Structure 1
Amino acid sequence: MIVRHKLELAFPEGIPQSALSFLTGVSRIPFSAVYRTVGFKETEAQVYLNAAPVTAKILDVERFTRAPDRFNMSKHRSLKHGNFTWIVKRKEKHFMDLHRELVRYKTLMRIPLKRTESEITDCSFNMSSKKKKRKEYSPYSKSKTICVYLCVYVFCRKLVLKFTSYRHARWWGQAIESFVRKHGKAFLRTHRFGSFFREEENIPSKWYVNGKTYMEDVANALEEAKEEIFITDWWLSPEIFLKRPVVEGNRWRLDWILKRKARQGVRIFVMLYKEVELALGINSEYSKRTLMRLHPDIKVMRHPDHVSSSVYLWAHHEKIVVIDQSVAFVGGIDLAYGRWDDREHRLTDVGSVTRLHSLQTGVGELMGNTRFWHGKDYCNFVYKDWVQLDKPFDDFIDRYTTPRMPWHDISSVVHGKAARDVARHFIQRWNFTKIMKPKYRSLTYPFLLPKSHSTANDLKYQVPDCVQTKVQVLRSAADWSAGIKHHEESIHNAYIQVIAKSKHFIYIENQFFISCADNKHVYNKIGDAIIERIIRAHKEKKLFRVYVVTPLLPGFEGDISTGGGSALQAVMHFNYRTMNRGEYSIIAQLKKEMDDQWMNYISICGLRTHAELEGRLVTELIYVHSKLLIADDNTVIIGSANINDRSMLGKRDSEVAVIFEDSETTPSVMDGQEYQAGKFALQLRLECFKTILGAFNDPTIDVSDPISNGFYKDVWMSISGRNATIYDKVFRCLPSSLVRNKQELMSFQSKPGLDKENPVKAQELLEKIRGFLVQFPLEFLSEENLMPSVGTKEAMVPTEIWT
C-alpha cells in the first residue's frame, strides 16, 4: 500500500526535468475524475499533483498484541499530499523497508542512464525474489486459506471486506468507526420529522409559480454545469422548449441542451419512472431511447421492473434537476409536455410557426415568435390523453376548436448543503437501481458518489434573486424505491406538525385532496390535523383560516357531461369524501363542533378561466398540479408529494419535498396588526394570491392581510363566489353544485348557456370576472355513487391505486 507512494522524496537538483516528464499530474483533481478511473500501475494514471510533496508525520504508537512476552508495535502515520490526507497504520519495519527503497531509487536516478517510462514508474524497484514473495502476502497472514470478514452495515446497503487476519480487520473496523463518529454525525441519526436529512441554515433559495420562470432558470443552470447533471421525473419529454417563445431555433430545447453539455464533458444521469404501459401512455421507453442516442455520456435508467420487483401500483414521482451537486431544483414540475405556463394561463395558441432546416445539423428547427406550445405540448388531457409521443411536433388535438388546459404549478431551487442532500437522494436511488437491474450492472453505468458537505458552500453558480432560508429536505421512500430498510414518511410528518403549530392560517395548493384517516381506505392524517387545528381555534375564539385550492376535476381522460370516466369518478369520490361527504370528511366533523360556523375557517376552491377561440367563447378549468403549503407567512413546503396516501405514507410512491423556514423577515399585516413575515414565504403567498384573484390587473384588490374579515369575506369568498356564478350562467360548465344527480345532469346539459343564447350579454358578465378563483362545487353529483361500477377495469384494481 505505501510502496505506491514512491515519489514522496524531494528530487535532487541534478536530475533533468526531462527525466520527470512522466509526472502528468494536475494541480487540482476535478470531481469528474471519478468517472475516469485507471489502475495505479497504468501508464496514464495521474497519481500525483504537480509541485505538491508527500509529507509523513507520526501521530501515535500502539502496542497491538495479546502476548505479554512479545514486543509488537505499530505506528499511526499521517501522509499529506496537497489537500489530501491519509492515516496509515503499519509496523516500523514496513516504513524502514519503504525508506530503503526510496533511498535506492534516489541513487538510481542520479545515474545518467536512459530509462523507459515503465522502468521509472515500476513500484517493485527490482526487489529480490524473496522480498517480492513477502510483499505478495499481508504481513499478518497465517495461510492462504484463512480469511477474516468485516461487514459494514448501513440502512440501505451491506459492504463485506475480506482480510487475511483478525488484526487487519480490527484495524479497519476501528478506523471506519472513528471516521464515521467524527465526520458522519449528520447521517447517524434520524432528524426532525423523521427525515434522513438535517436542517441546513442560510441556504440560498427561490420559489417558482408556474413553469415559465422555472424552466428558464433550469435552462440557465444546465448551461452552467461543469461536471454532473442529475434529472429524475415522473415523465420527461426530450423535445420540450425550456425558453419560449422560440426565437433561437432549437438552442433551448431540452435534448439539445443535454447533448451540448455532454459534448463539453459533463456527465448526465437521468432516472425515469417505468410505467405500466397498459395504464399510462407516457412512453418512457421513447424518452430513454431518444436521450441515449444523443451522446455516450448520457445515461438513462428506468425503474421499477414490474415483474421482477412485483411493484405494479406505485410510481417514482419526484421532479428533480441537480447541477454539479450544488444547485437543486425540487418541486412539482416535470420537464414534460403541458407543464410550461405563466400567470396568464392562456386557453388558446393558434399563432404562426415556421419549420426551418438547419444545414449544419440536418435537423428541423422551429421558429415561431407567436406560438408557445408546439405539437404535443398543446394539450387538454381531460378531453384527450397523449398519443404518438414519438411524433413530438404533430398536434393531437385541434387547437382551432379545443382550448388547451392551463397548468398551475409550484417549484423551488436550493443551493449548497441542501442541494447536496437532494443529490444524495438521487444517488441513492441510482445506485440501488443499478444493483437491482442486471442490465445496469456493467461498467457503462457507473456508481455515483456524493460530494462532501464540507465544500458545499463553494458555489460556482447561483440562481439569481435567491433569499436566505433554513432548509430541510424531506422525502417519501421505502425498500422498493430507494432500497432502505425502514420506510421514510417525513413529508407526511412535516405537513401534520406544520399544520398543528400554525397560528394564523394555512394555504394549500395540491393536485389531490384525499385524507381524513378511517384506517380502512385512507390512512394519512393531514385532513385530521386540519380539523383539530380549526376546532382548537374555534374553542379559543381566535381567527384562523384554511385555504385549499385543488383541481375542479381530476386529471384523467373522461367526459364529465356523461358522468365522467371511471378513473375520473373514483378520484372524485375520495376527494369529496375528504371535503364534505361521509362521517370522516372535514366539513362533516366540523359541523358536529360548530354547525355552519365552519365556513368562517375553511374555504375550498378551484381555478377556471375563459377566452375567445375562433370567434366563440370557451372556458376550461385550470389544472392545479401544485404541491404547496404555506403557514403563517413564514413556513413553506414545496415538493412533488400530493395530499393522498400514495405520496404521504412513504411505502408507496417515492417523493421529495423541501421545507423552507424564513431567516429574513419583512414588515407585513396579520388581522390588521403589524406582523413580521418571512421574506420567502410572504412573497410566494402574495404571488399566488395576486395571480388567482386577479390583483395584478386590478390594484384595488388588497391581498396583504390573509386572515382579516375584510379579505376573507369581501375578497376571497366574494370573488370566488361571483366567478363561479358567472361561469354557471354563461357556460353552464361542469362540475357545478346545481347538478346533484344524473337526472339533473341531463337537464342541465340540455339548456344552453348565455354564450350561445346571448353572446353580448355573456361578454358583459365575463368582464366582471376577477382572476381565476371559483368556489369548489361541493354538491356536484352528491346523490350519486362515484366509485367505479362493477365490471369496469377500474373496479378490478385495488382501492389503494386511487388513494
Structure 2
Amino acid sequence: MDANFKRKTIHRSISLLLRDIDQMSMSEIGTSNPALNCDDTATASNSTHRLEHSRGHNLASCEDGDDRGVGGAGGGGVEGGGGGGGNHDASLACYSIRSEPEEYDENLDAPDSVTYLSIGGNNPVLVIREGDADSVAPASEIPYSYVYNTPVKFDSMRRHIFIPGLEINVEIIDNERSLTSHVLNPNLYTVKLTHGPFSWTIQKRYNHFRNLHQQLTTYRTSLHIPFPTKSHKERRDSFRNMHTVHQTTASPAMQQKLGKPMKKIKKSALPRFPLKPDSLVTFDAIPQRIKQLEEYLYNLLNISLYRNFHGTINFLEVSHISFIAALGEKGKEGLIKKRTGSTRSGQSGCNFCGCLAGGCCIRCSYFCTDVLWSKWRNRWFFVKETCFGYYRPKDGVLRCVVLFDQGFDVSSGMYSTGMRNGVQIATNSRYLVIKYPTRRTAKEWMTHLKRVANESARDFTLPNPHQSFAPSRPGVQAGWFVDGAGYMSAVADALEGATEEIFITDWMLSPEIYMKRPAIDGDYWRLDKILKRKAEQGIKIFVLLFKELDFALGINSYYSKQRLVEQHENIKVLRHPDHAKAGILFWAHHEKLVIVDQTYAFVGGIDLCYGRWDDYQHRLTDLGSISSSTASSANNTTTRKPSTVVELDENGSVANLLKSSKNIAIATAMDRQTTTHRYDQSAVDGSAASGMKRLKQKFMQKVPDEAGGAGDPPDKLLIAAAQALGSGVAGADQQPPEERDSLPENIKQNTPEMERRNIMGKIKEMGRDLRNRITLSDAQEPPYGSDALSPNGGGTGSGAKSNVSSPGYLSEEERRKQQMYGASDGGILSPQPFKNAVVFELDGQAKLWIGKDYINFIIKDFTNLDMPYADLVDRTTTVRMPWHDVATVVLGQAARDVARHFIERWNAVKLEKCRDNANYPYLLPKSYNDIRIDSKFLNVPLHHVTCQVLRSASSWNCGFIEPDHVEQSIHEAYVQTISKAQHYVYIENQFFISLELGNSVVKNQISEYLFKRIVRAHREKKVFRVYVVMPLLPGFEGDVGGATGISLRAITHWNYASISSLRTNSTLNGLPVTELIYVHSKLLIADDKVVICGSANINDRSLLGKRDSEVCVMITDESFEEGRMNGESYPCGIFAGKLRKFLFREHLGLLEPDPKRTSIDVTDPVIHSFWNDIWRRTSRRNTLIYDEVFRCIPSDNVQSFAMLKKFLEDKSLLQSNPEGIQQAISRIEGNLVDLPLKFLCNEILTPPGTSKEGIMPTYMWT
C-alpha cells in the first residue's frame, strides 16, 4: 500500500510539472545557484540577486538582437544592488508583453553545474566553470583505440562522443519549402555542423527541433525528481554536484576580495526555442526563423549537459565513432530498423521448408518474410569511407561491419524490399534489409550510400587490375627479406613499436618462437612474450589460425591458441574452419601476414613457427659452443688456463651439473674414448656470494681445460635448467640406491658412486649460505633427459622431453600455473610435474634453434608441440633442414589493403563462430587518407614502388554469400606477368604443379604461359631465360622408397617441371654431412622490374581461389638504376633488381668475400656468359660432387625403386676414401644444384588406393 501511494504521488508530481513546465514562475527561474553561497559576501541579499536575474531574463525575452553575446548595458552584477529605474521600467514593460502568447520557450535554464551571471548587459549568460568538459584544453583528436572501449548503451550519460574542448558550430545552409506535402512543417532545413576538423549535414524539420526541445525540457525537469532508481539517483547526484566551486568562477568583486586574479571564463547564451510553428511563418520571415533555429541549436550545444543528452546526440546523428580521425570522415549515421535474419541472402523469414524457395509472387514472399515471421530491431546505422555497419543501441555493441566491394548494390521500393520506405543493401558477403520512417529518409540514405560507393570507396567497388579486390597503389614504400632471420627481427621490431592494434594470421604459429637470435636477452624477444608485453600496454591483438584436422597435421593450433589467450585478455585468437560444420576437409588458410596499426604489413611465405628462422649460411648443425671431441681428436686440444666444463653424453644430456643463480662449476672425469661435447666457460662472473667463490676455487683447480680452439669472445647468455638436470647431481645422495640405479640411460654417469656422494657432501657444506637461491629437487623419479645449454631451456638430447622456464626466478603467478598445469613456463604441459627451475648464467655462444625449432621435416614431422623445449631429433646425430624463404613489407595504403583482407576474414569468422560474443569484436578498417608513417619505424631499406595486393579467396574462407564467387587475382597476375616479360622470369616456389592446356587434373595455366612465352621468343629469335628454383624433395616426413613415403611420392608425382634446387653441407661429429635446403619461397621476378611475393604456391590449391586462401603483393618498381640485359644497357628496378641480385649471390655462394670468385658479375641475368658459364655450370658441378661424395637422393641415377635400393647399397666416396673427400667438397661453390628430372621416372608414384593418401581425391595433391 505504501509503495503504491509513493508511486502515485510521483506520477502526479510529474504530470503537474509537465503541465506547468511552460509557465514556470519567475522566482523559480531566478533562484540563486547555491554554488555561489560559499562566501558570506556572496550570500547577502538573495532577493537582490533574484531581482537582477529576473530583469536580465525578461529583457532577454524582449530582445530581438543577437542573443549569443553578452547584451547591452544596464544589467546588475551578482553581488550588486538593485538596478536603476530605467531597467525596472523595462522589466515592467516586458511583463506587459508576456501577457500575450510567448514567442520563445526559455525553460532550459541554467543547470546546477553552471552559474548565472549578468555582466554588463540585459541577457543572462551561462558561465561554465573551469574543469567542466567545455573548459578543458582542446584535444587534437580522439584516439583510434577508443573503438575498443567497453560498449556503453546509447541512452547513457557516460558516453563520450565529442572532442574535448572543441565547440560545435551550426549553420543552416539550405531550406526546402513544401506546403502541399507537409502542411504543418513545410520547411526542410539543411543544417551544417562543424566540430573541429569534421563537418557534416543533417536535414531536419521544425517538428524535429520541437521534439528535441521537449525531450530536453522533460529531462531537465526529471533531474529534480527523486525517482527511486539507482541510475536516476546517480544522474541527479552528478547533475547537482557536477563540480566543486572554484574561485575562478566567482565574480571579479569576489575574486578581488579573495585576492585571486580572475581567469578567462567561457560564456554561452541560454537556448531560446521559437514557439511559433513553421506553418505560421511567412515566406518573408524564413530568414529570421533560420537565424532563430541556428542560435537555439548553437547555444544548446555549448552546454555540455544538453549536448551529451542522448536525444541531442541522436538529433545530431553522431556516435562515439563519429570523430575518430583514423576512421576518416564522419559519414552518415542514424537510427534505423533492420529486419532480423537478413544477414545473408535467403536466411530471412520462413519459406515453408523450402517450398517457396523456387519462387513465388513478390507480395506472398514478403507477406511471409516481413509480416508473419520477421522482426524489426532498432539499430544505429553508420556509413564510413570504405565500410558501413550498425550498433545495437540497448548495449552499444557493434553488431555488424560490412566492407564495400565490387558486389555492392543498393535498391529501394516495393519490388526490392516489399516496402515503400525500405532499402536493400547487398555486397559479396552480406545482405541487409532496412526500414526507414519515411520515403524521404530512405531515399536520402540510398543516395548517400551510392555517393560513398562512387567516391571514397570506388577503389573497392569498381573493377581493378587482375580482378583483385584492391587497386594498384602508387608511391608505396616497400622492402624485402631473404630468409627468416631478417624477417623475424623486423617483425619483432614492428610488434614492439605497435601503438594501437596487431593482426597476425599464419598457417602455423609457435608461441615460443624466438624472433631475434641468439637469445642473449633471455625470452624478451620470444613471440608470446612480445605479444603479452604489448597487450599489457593496451594494444589489441587479433590472431587468425588455421584449424587443422588433427589426424592429418600435427601443427596443434589449439595449443597455440591456448598459449596466447592465457597471456592477456587483449589477445584474441580465432581458429577456422570448423571442418565438419563448414564441410571443408581438404583446404587450408595459408596466408602469412603480420599487420601493425594497419600501417605496416608483412607479406610473404614465412610462418612465425618452428623451423623457419634461418639466414644465408643455412647451417646444418647447432650445438651451441659445444665442441665435438672424438678419439682421434681428443689429443689435439691446446692447454689453456683452467675453466669450467659442462660434460654431455652422446645424446646431448648433461651428466653432472651444480645449480646456481650466477655460476656453474662442474668437476667430472671425462671419458676420452667416447664422443663427448663440452661447454667452455672461459670467464666466470665474480659477483656471486662468498660460499660459491670458495666452491669455485676448490673445483676449478680440479677441472682441466679440454675445450681448445680460439675464436671470437663468447657472448653471455641466460640459460634455464629443469629439474631433470639435478637428477644425477643435486639430491643424488638423498635417493635410495634403487632409485639411483633407475636413472635414464641417456644420463651419462662417468663419476663413480662414492665420488658423486663426496662431491655433494662438500657442496652442501659450503653452499649453506646460498640455500635460498639454490633449488634442489626431491622428485621420486627423475624426468626425461633435458638440456641446460639452450637459452631459456632449449633441449638438445633426443630424449629431452621435460620443460624449462624462462630466465629469471619464478613469480608467484608462474608457480601457481605450474601447480595448476603440472608444467613450467605458464602452462606448457610436461610428462611430470615441474617443481623447480633455476636460472644459470654462462659465457658462450647460444643455440640458434631451441627445442622443437631444430627440425628436419623429412626425418621427423612435428609432434608434441606442447613441449616446445624438447628436441624432435637428436641434434648430435641428425642435421637440421635449412629453410630458404622470401618475404616483403609494405607501408601506407598497401598495408591498409592487406589489413582490409584480414578484417574481412576476421569479421566473417566472427559472424560464423562467435556472433554474440562481445569479447571478440568486429574490426573496422582505417581511413586511406592522412596515413601517418614513421620512416624510422623499421630498420629496413625501403624503396618507392607501385603495389597491388592479390589474393585467392572464396566463400568458405572470406564469407562470400555466393558459393560460386571466387577471386583468383594471384593466378591472373602470374600469367599476365609471364606473358609480358621481355627478358627473363625467375621463379622460386615450394611447388611447381602445372601441366599443359586441357589437362583434366591440373587447372592452373602457369606452365602453359611459360611454354607460350618461350615459343614466342624462339620464333622472334630473341633471348629469353626462365629460372626456376624449388626444393629437391617435398617437405613431408617419410622414406622415399619405403612405406612411410607415400605422401612424399604423391607430391613428387606432380612436381616435375623445374630446373634448379639448393643443397648444402657441413660437418657433424667430425664427418661431412649434407642436406637439401628446403625452398619455401613463393616468388616471381620478371625483368628486374616486377615482383610477386606472398604465400601462394604454384599449384591449383593456391591459385584457383576455391581452395586454399592466399595473399600476395605485386610490386612494380618506380625507381631505377643502370643495369644490363643481354649485354645492353637497361633500366634496372631498384627493388626487384637488388632482390634478384642478392638471391643469385646467395645461391652461387658470393655473399662472403672470396678472392677467387670476385670476377663473377650477376648484373646481367640474360647474357650467355652468365647463364651457361656461371649459373648452369655451377649447378651441374655441385650436383656431380654431391653425387660422388654423398650419393644423395634424389638423383638422375635412380629411375626405379630397384635402382634406388642398389644405389643406397653402393659405397660413396665418403665411405671408400674418407681422406680425399675434403678436396672434393672444397670444390663446391654455393648451394645451387640440378633437380634430377629422371628420378624414379620409371615408377608410378600415385599413391595406392589402399593407403590413406590414396583415399584422398587427386585434386587435394595438386
- TM-score by structure 2 length? 0.57
Q: Which moved more, 1:403-412 or 1:695-704?
A: 695-704
Counterpart in 2 of 1:744? 1203
Q: Is the 8 A contact 1:353 1:369 kept in 2?
A: no
Aligned pair partner of 1:325 in 591, 598, 601:
598
Aligned pair partner of 2:872 in 381, 396, 404:
396
Counterpart in 1 of 2:189? 75
Identity %: 45
Q: Aligned pair count?
A: 758
Aligned pair partner of 1:165 in 429, 432, 438:
438
Q: Secondary structure at the match of 1:565?
A: helix
CA deviation vs aligned residue, 1:60-112 (integer Å, no higher than 9, x gap) = 33457984989733222221212223321111443466579889999999xxx
Counterpart in 1 of 2:129? 17
Aligned pair partner of 2:976 in 482, 497, 518:
497
d(CA) in 1 for partners of 2:1217 and 2:883?
A: 30
User: How far does residue 428 in structure 1 lie from its aligned partner after superposition?
Assistant: 0.2
RMSD: 3.2
Counterpart in 2 of 1:31? 144
User: How far does residue 179 in structure 1 lie from its aligned partner after superposition?
Assistant: 2.7
Counterpart in 1 of 2:1033? 553
Q: Is the 8 A contact 1:474 1:659 kept in 2?
A: yes
Change in CA separation of 1:11 and 1:800 when aligned onto 2, cut-off 3 Å? farther
Amino acid at match of 2:483: N
Query: Superposed, which structure 2 residues align to 1:441-590 within 5 Å?
Result: 441-459=916-934, 462-464=937-939, 465-484=941-960, 485=962, 486-516=965-995, 517-562=997-1042, 565-576=1045-1056, 579=1057
Q: Secondary structure at the match of 2:153?
A: coil
Q: Is the 8 A contact 1:670 1:707 kept in 2?
A: yes
Query: Superposed, which structure 2 residues align to 1:92-491 within 5 Å?
Result: 92-95=206-209, 98=212, 116-118=237-239, 121=305, 148-351=421-624, 352-354=789-791, 355=793, 357-359=807-809, 361=811, 362=814, 363=825, 369-437=845-913, 439=914, 441-459=916-934, 462-464=937-939, 465-484=941-960, 485=962, 486-491=965-970
Q: Secondary structure at the match of 2:127?
A: coil
Q: Is the 8 A contact 2:1119 2:1134 kept in 1?
A: yes
d(CA) in 1 for partners of 2:162 and 2:469?
A: 36
Q: Secondary structure at the match of 2:929?
A: helix
d(CA) in 1 for partners of 2:237 and 2:141?
A: 27
Aligned pair partner of 1:703 in 1138, 1162, 1167:
1162
Change in CA separation of 1:666 and 1:11 when aligned onto 2, cut-off 3 Å? farther
User: How far does residue 11 in structure 1 lie from its aligned partner after superposition?
Assistant: 11
Identify unmatched segments of 5+ residues in structure 1. 128-136, 580-602
d(CA) in 2 for partners of 1:239 and 1:546?
A: 40
Change in CA separation of 1:126 and 1:527 when aligned onto 2, cut-off 3 Å? closer
Are 1:646 and 2:758 matched, yes or no? no
Q: Is the 8 A contact 2:1034 2:1051 kept in 1?
A: yes
Amino acid at match of 1:389: L
Higher relative contact order (CA 8 A, sep 6+): 1
Change in CA separation of 1:504 and 1:553 when aligned onto 2, cut-off 3 Å? same
Q: Is the 8 A contact 1:508 1:548 kept in 2?
A: yes
Q: Secondary structure at the match of 2:156?
A: coil
User: How far does residue 756 in structure 1 lie from its aligned partner after superposition?
Assistant: 1.5
Q: Secondary structure at the match of 1:791?
A: coil
CA deviation vs aligned residue, 1:360-381 (integer Å, no higher than 9, x gap) = 6455779773310000000001
Aligned pair partner of 1:777 in 1215, 1225, 1236:
1236
Aligned pair partner of 2:1185 in 726, 749, 758:
726
d(CA) in 2 for partners of 1:488 and 1:60?
A: 45
Q: Which moved more, 1:40-49 or 1:614-623?
A: 40-49
Are 1:659 and 2:932 matched, yes or no? no
User: How far does residue 544 in structure 1 lie from its aligned partner after superposition?
Assistant: 0.3
d(CA) in 2 for partners of 1:795 and 1:174?
A: 56
CA deviation vs aligned residue, 1:372-410 (integer Å, no higher than 9, x gap) = 000000000111111110000111100011100000000
Q: Is the 8 A contact 1:353 1:366 kept in 2?
A: no
Query: Superposed, which structure 2 residues align to 1:586-735 within 5 Å?
Result: 604-697=1059-1152, 698=1154, 699-735=1158-1194
d(CA) in 2 for partners of 1:549 and 1:118?
A: 73
Q: Is the 8 A contact 1:695 1:702 kept in 2?
A: no
User: How far does residue 463 in structure 1 lie from its aligned partner after superposition?
Assistant: 2.0
Change in CA separation of 1:197 and 1:663 when aligned onto 2, cut-off 3 Å? same
CA deviation vs aligned residue, 1:208-250 (integer Å, no higher than 9, x gap) = 0000000000000000001100000000000000000011000
d(CA) in 1 for partners of 2:924 and 2:309?
A: 34
Q: Secondary structure at the match of 2:1236?
A: coil
User: How far does residue 147 in structure 1 lie from its aligned partner after superposition?
Assistant: 9.4
d(CA) in 1 for partners of 2:446 and 2:1121?
A: 51
Counterpart in 2 of 1:91? 205
d(CA) in 2 for partners of 1:665 and 1:19?
A: 58
Q: Is the 8 A contact 2:134 2:165 kept in 1?
A: no
Amino acid at match of 1:753: S
User: How far does residue 615 in structure 1 lie from its aligned partner after superposition?
Assistant: 1.1
d(CA) in 2 for partners of 1:257 and 1:421?
A: 25
d(CA) in 2 for partners of 1:177 and 1:190?
A: 16
d(CA) in 2 for partners of 1:248 and 1:436?
A: 41
Larger Rg computed on CA atoms? 2
User: How far does residue 41 in structure 1 lie from its aligned partner after superposition?
Assistant: 3.7
Amino acid at match of 1:60: D
d(CA) in 1 for partners of 2:308 and 2:147?
A: 26
Amino acid at match of 1:359: Y
Change in CA separation of 1:611 and 1:497 when aligned onto 2, cut-off 3 Å? same
Change in CA separation of 1:40 and 1:67 when aligned onto 2, cut-off 3 Å? closer
Q: Secondary structure at the match of 2:1059?
A: strand
Q: Secondary structure at the match of 2:1023?
A: coil
Counterpart in 2 of 1:55? 169
Identify unmatched segments of 5+ residues in structure 2. 1-107, 118-124, 224-234, 241-303, 312-333, 338-370, 377-418, 625-788, 794-805, 815-824, 826-836
Change in CA separation of 1:669 and 1:620 when aligned onto 2, cut-off 3 Å? same
Q: Is the 8 A contact 1:561 1:734 kept in 2?
A: no
d(CA) in 2 for partners of 1:31 and 1:494?
A: 35
d(CA) in 1 for partners of 2:597 and 2:1214?
A: 53
Counterpart in 2 of 1:761? 1220
- TM-score by structure 1 length? 0.89
d(CA) in 1 for partners of 2:1187 and 2:618?
A: 20
Counterpart in 2 of 1:583? none
